[in-house]
Chains A and B, each alone.
Chain A
Amino acid sequence: MEKGQRMKIVTRTRAGTITGLMVVVLVLAGLALPAVAPRSLIQDLFFILTMLSLAQVWNLLAGYGGLVSVGQQAFVGIGAYAMFAMVILFGWDPVPAVLVGGVAAVILAVPTAFFAFRLQGAYFAIGTWVIAEVTRLLVAQWKALGGGTGTSLPREATSDIMGVELIRTLFDVREAAARDILAYWLALILTVCIIGGIYWLLKNRLGLALAAVRDNTEAARSVGIDTTRLKWAVFLIAAFATGLIGALIYVQTARISPDAAFSLTDWTAYVIFIVVIGGIGTLEGPIIGVIVFFVLQSALSDYGAWYLLTLGLLAIAVMLFAPKGLWGLIAARTGLRLFPVQRRLVGHDINGGK
């Protein structure tokens, strides 16, 4: 019996609060890092952050939305090319042009979704892949942006990117290093926004709908959830974020070609590896996955084919023995949730209320 004690619904946990504080500390440390870190570390971290962002977005699509796309390279590529187009054809600064990359990805996502949503499961996956290939072939015809061989950002555009001059005086580094620092900072901010944004979505009504649809589509419809609209929303959000990340990656490399920007291996296969190894359907999983991926890549990249072979075998082993990924193992042992989304009723004698 409750005695005047008001029940309320909470999602906050202690682990979650600690995570929040740690994230703030890590982000501040990450922002200050270029003052002491060598350029190679900044480049490595840029790579890790962008892969982590791509993995989180794919996880939103496949792990939460049930949309197993293997065509995300279409949005990386179109985002990067849109950024290049704004810089080369219209003389924009590359940094604001990154936003155009995101918008271009959404514009491509609308017809992609229109066709791909007619397909289910494996057919959806293949459909997205085919659309990505078609996009690559079309972009390769774009002569103003180098056609099939690609092009570089012009010298005058990269030399006065907004903020680079400030970073040069701040850290006393050369221009190329300053550009890396800028890209790294943007990647850090983007990663925080993407993880924070997805976490916010999951904690709100969209999270309930995604979980409901994941568990039982028919029942989800019977309680008034518009499953079609939900799929569209997730797909368009994912496309926008992927386009932003793609454009940012190519601000840093400053050189583009259709084969690289629309690479299935780099932008989707590795990303799926990261999510599967770490744990699909959790925010923690891709974070662990990207660390494992980076360590493997650093250790094995000199061995060519053995590298890919090891990744493949490891992915198979994890799928067989730990289908919920490495984070799944940890969470099952410890019950730890770094990003709590579960709503709990407290203030009453309730089982599992803790």
Chain B
Amino acid sequence: MTTVLDLIDVSKSFGALKVTDGVSLTVPKGQALGIIGPNGAGKSTLFNLITGNISPDQGRIMLLGQDVTRLPAMKRVRMGVGRSFQIPQPFEGLTVLENLLAAAVYGRGAPEAAVADDCIAILRDTEMLAKANTLAGSLSLLDRKRLELARAMATGPELLLLDEIAGGLTEGECRALIDTIRGLHAKGVTIIWIEHVLHALTSVVERLLVLDFGRVIGIGAPDDIMASKDVREIYLGMEA
């Protein structure tokens, strides 16, 4: 199996605070990996290390077998790292379609005509086709989240990073979004997903990683992880 992402002993400190502490991780192609952990465990920092928004103090980051540790974020997008933001960041003055076109044209470095059909297909997959000509600034929260997902997909990612995309949605909206993500995963997209809404996460991912104080304290099948004593203590705050 091909490996999409390889983190080798990655560490990052902000001042005296070690937010990522010797994290090693391999994500094979096509896998959906969930990341959980208490607030401040270093989940978003781990994402920012993968996208290249911050660079590690130590360790190496390999993307599709290439060392990208020192590569700027923009170039990693071109190599296939797509991300959604925890708080949706649409281009509000552009329509939904134009949001995707901008992402596709620059994320893939291809002309508009070459990506148009694919953008339309992504709109269909994410159930945003009917709103293609709507200005992104006037979308509801669910549609903004869907747009985050669609725009990340438009960059043509080998690896899709989802940052708390289910947060803040109603039960029904959440289910709709899960269906969409499942659909994308079924098409073979590799996904890493940070989420506090556990049932949403566990209904999609095959593998779960628990982060606490910047360290990996558990990784494996979701059921095993959720059953483990350490995780229940640290993450769920239960006395086992």
Contact = CB atoms under 8 A, between A and B. Distances in A.
B105 A205 contact: yes
A333 B155 CA distance: 36
B129 A216 contact: no
B130 A351 contact: yes
Contacts of B133: 344-345, 350-353
Nearest to B75: A224
A87 B46 CA distance: 62
Contacts of B130: 349-351
Contact of A224 (B112, B123, B132, B155): B155
B90 A222 contact: no
Given A7-B120, A344-B97, A224 B74 contact: yes
A260 interface: no
A226 to B, nearest CB: 6
Interface string B71-105: 00110011000010100011111110111011101
Contacts of A222: 51, 73, 77, 83, 85, 89
A43 interface: no
Nearest to B96: A345
Contact of B101 (A208, A226, A351): A208
A172 interface: no
B93 A214 contact: yes
A309 interface: no
Interface residues of B, number: 39
A208 B105 contact: yes
B103 A223 contact: yes
B43 interface: no
B103 A224 contact: yes
A222 B51 CA distance: 8
B131 interface: yes
Interface string A319-354: 000000000000000000000001111001111110
Contact of A209 (B78, B106, B116): B106
Contact of B107 (A9, A218, A223, A345): A223
A204 B106 CA distance: 12
A53 B149 CA distance: 41
A48 interface: no
Nearest to B85: A219
A9 B123 CA distance: 13
Interface string A194-233: 0000000000110011011011101111111110000000
Nearest to A342: B95
Contact of B91 (A9, A215, A348): A215
Contacts of A208: 94, 98, 101-102, 105-106, 112
Bin the interface of chain A by size. 20 to 34
Given A348-B129, A351-B131, A353-B133, A224 B94 contact: no
B109 interface: yes
Contacts of B151: 223
Contact of A350 (B85, B99, B129): B129
Contacts of A352: 95, 133-134
Contacts of B40: none
A9 B131 contact: no
Nearest to B98: A343
A345 B91 contact: no
B98 A342 contact: yes
A223 B102 contact: yes
Nearest to B92: A215
Contacts of A7: 120
Contacts of B78: 224
Given A348-B129, A351-B131, A225 B74 contact: yes
Contact of A216 (B90, B107, B109, B111): B90
A211 B134 contact: no
A224 B107 contact: yes
B120 A223 contact: no
Nearest to B94: A211
Contact of B89 (A8, A204, A216, A345): A216
A343 B115 CA distance: 14
Interface in A11-64: none
A244 to B, nearest CB: 29
14 contacts: A211-B91, A212-B94, A212-B106, A214-B93, A216-B90, A219-B90, A222-B51, A224-B78, A224-B103, A225-B106, A342-B98, A344-B97, A345-B129, A350-B132
Given A9-B97, A215-B90, 19 more contacts: A208-B102, A208-B105, A211-B93, A212-B102, A215-B94, A221-B74, A222-B77, A223-B151, A224-B77, A224-B78, A224-B106, A224-B108, A226-B74, A342-B98, A343-B97, A343-B98, A350-B131, A350-B132, A351-B130
Interface of B: 51, 73-74, 77-78, 83, 85, 89-95, 97-99, 101-103, 105-109, 111-112, 116, 120, 123, 129-134, 151, 154-155
- 7 closest A-B pairs by CB: A224-B77, A219-B89, A223-B103, A208-B102, A215-B91, A352-B133, A224-B106
